Chain A
Amino acid sequence: MRINAVSTKPDSIAAMPMTRDAEWAQFTCAMASRRAFLKAGLAAAAVANLPAAAFAATLDYALEATQIAPDTYAVYGAQEQFSVANGGNIVNTAFVVTDEGVVVIDTGPSLRYGEALKALIRKVANRDVVRVYITHHHPDHMLGNQAFEPSKLASTETVIANINSEGEMFAGNMYRLVGDWMRGTEVRAPGTALTTSHERFGDHEFEIIPLAGHTSSDLVILDKTTGVLFAGDLAFLDRAATTPHADIAVWQQSLDQLDKSPFKLLMPGHGPAEESHRAIEQTRAYLTWLDRTLKTSIRNGEDMTEAMASPIPQEFRSIALVRDELGRSTSHLYPKYEEQMLPLVSGRS
């Protein structure tokens, strides 16, 4: 279901108390849903005394560039789950201004975000984009691709294949979760599959480091000129790691490799950029705990709902969304672990 033909102001919907109608609209049918959204839009319009169409223009990510190193800017997203209120802007993107043009890392959750990012780059750097690296195929990192030239978009062959096979499903789900912010967004896989280990743009040299674990292919970029490591979602900081396509053992190996990388600053996919190795250490410790907790639950005869309610250790309680992500990760990993761990009991009688 795509709610892309309705102009309204999601902020005011989010702020409105959910009426029974609006609640039901979420799960009865597209018609009812559209009606409720229109109703909410009209109510908002009446309050502001403006035509409903005017609200489309107010969906604004208000992106800001934060300089984190020479020539290097972070565009930080909220440490939240996807919502109508945040428009899917829960992700970090970044760009590096070289004297040949701008190199971008990830494009955000929607066409609207991609366009806002491009406008921000134009404002800060006033240069053309020469390269856009896509770290992996998750929707918050690549649904803004449409705003950029296809041949400038680059990633690993596997990331491109993953976007082609799963992108549509992600996009559909994003329309459901954040609504009108997604309007016009279509899936675009990068046009360039990276084959070299380095790329140079003007005065910056980028090392291309294909790793895996968060998904089946995670592209890490090290700017050798500044020492900034763009770790994508292999590293989370102060926000719980997500696991819909994770292989935790492989992920841990990738973290070991990142730990050895001679970076000066680490930019995680979610959370602040820091000079320290904290993002690597925290992600590693969290994944170790997560894996152990789920396996222990299986050994103790628990079902998924019980594993989801496992206590959160003190050291992770200040990390955003740990309880949510434990629940989601249980859904992702528990069935696989059960298949591996429960003993075979048929064919024995």
Chain B
Amino acid sequence: MKAILTAAIALLWLAGGVASAAEPPADPLKSVMWQQMYEKHFADKPVVFDDRVSVIAPKSAEDQTTIPVTVDASALPGVREIVVITDLNPIQKVLSYQPTQAKPYIAFRFKAEQGTPVRAAALTEDGVWHLGGIYVDAAGGGCTAPALAHGKPDWVSRLAEVRGKVWRKPGQSSAKLRLRIQHPMDTGLADGIPAFYVESLEVQGRDGTTLGKLQIFEPVSENPVLTLKPQLGPGDDRVIVKGRDTDGNLIDAVVPVNTQASALDAKPSPIR
């Protein structure tokens, strides 16, 4: 509903000919919200649409509470930060990722209140925001539905539980880290349930060096699952994960690095 109102207001602005602060480049996704998105998130900053920022997601969401997205800006050199925004969600900002010592790559899942453009903006060292995006169609209600966790008796005892694994080919610095954090990720938009979500996460090397930093917002799906590609040193036999939610509950995990794993090498051949 909020998104609809905002959309309507944006349309009124356009119809009324209210002058904007700056003229954004034409939006390949032709979103009615683009002007407003630009002013809200990138006002007065240089913005370009750039194919090197790849956003991969299904065209149509099967489950509007768990829409998988992969953002890969590896083709773009010097990425400082990746911000993911959704035009037509009541809460537009999904996450912000600083791949300090990692490839500019992140996979995650988000909740959609309705079909929406999903945009990834990659900030390069020269201060330019490079945008990629895709439109995902979805049924309604992903943000305003209560988390499934509230129907399960063990949600408190397992809160902030982390599951995960690192895949690393022998002799290579680039690794793949997958994390699953048990958390209801309440948006605050479901009746009677205040916002309660994981808000920050940091991935560190064994000596505490920051590999990547994440700011996470309400639209990230319940029990967030993240895939990152940190760069590891030869001696890194573990990755440390630290974070907190909006109530101050801590997330704390140590993920062993298994250099024996060769499973990353090949996709298995189909059966028979």
Query: Which of A's residues lie within 8 Å of B, judged by CB?
Result: 1, 20, 24, 26-29, 172-173, 176, 244, 288-289, 292-293, 296, 299-301, 303-306, 308, 310-311, 313-315, 327-328, 330-332, 335, 338-339, 342-349
B165 touches A349 (CB 8 A): no
A293 to B7 alpha-carbon distance, docked (Å): 41
8 pairs of residues in contact across A and B, judged by CB atoms under 8 Å: A24-B32, A29-B7, A303-B68, A303-B178, A304-B68, A308-B58, A310-B267, A347-B253
B163 touches A313 (CB 8 A): no
B70 touches A26 (CB 8 A): no
A313 to B4 alpha-carbon distance, docked (Å): 43
Closest-by-CB residue of A relative to B222 is A335
A345 to B165 alpha-carbon distance, docked (Å): 8
Complex interface: chain A residues within 8 A of B62 (CB): 244, 327-328, 331-332
Closest-by-CB residue of A relative to B70 is A305
CB within 8 A of B137: which of A26, A173, A296?
A26
A303 touches B163 (CB 8 A): no
B176 touches A289 (CB 8 A): no
A315 to B109 alpha-carbon distance, docked (Å): 32
B137 touches A343 (CB 8 A): no
Complex interface: chain B residues within 8 A of A1 (CB): 140
Query: Which of B's residues lie within 8 Å of A, judged by CB?
Result: 4, 7-8, 30, 32, 56-58, 61-63, 66, 68-70, 88, 107, 109, 114-116, 137, 139-140, 160-165, 167, 176, 178, 180, 223, 225, 227, 240-241, 251-256, 263-264, 267-268, 270-272
Closest-by-CB residue of A relative to B161 is A346
A301 touches B176 (CB 8 A): yes
Write the nearest CB–CB distance from B241 to chain A, whole angstroms: 8
A296 to B225 alpha-carbon distance, docked (Å): 17
Complex interface: chain B residues within 8 A of A293 (CB): 270
A301 touches B167 (CB 8 A): yes
CB within 8 A of B270: which of A313, A330, A347, A348?
A313
Closest-by-CB residue of B relative to A310 is B267
Write the nearest CB–CB distance from B230 to chain A, whole angstroms: 13
Complex interface: chain A residues within 8 A of B254 (CB): 345, 348-349
A321 to B31 alpha-carbon distance, docked (Å): 30
Complex interface: chain A residues within 8 A of B107 (CB): 303-305
B178 touches A339 (CB 8 A): no
Complex interface: chain A residues within 8 A of B7 (CB): 28-29
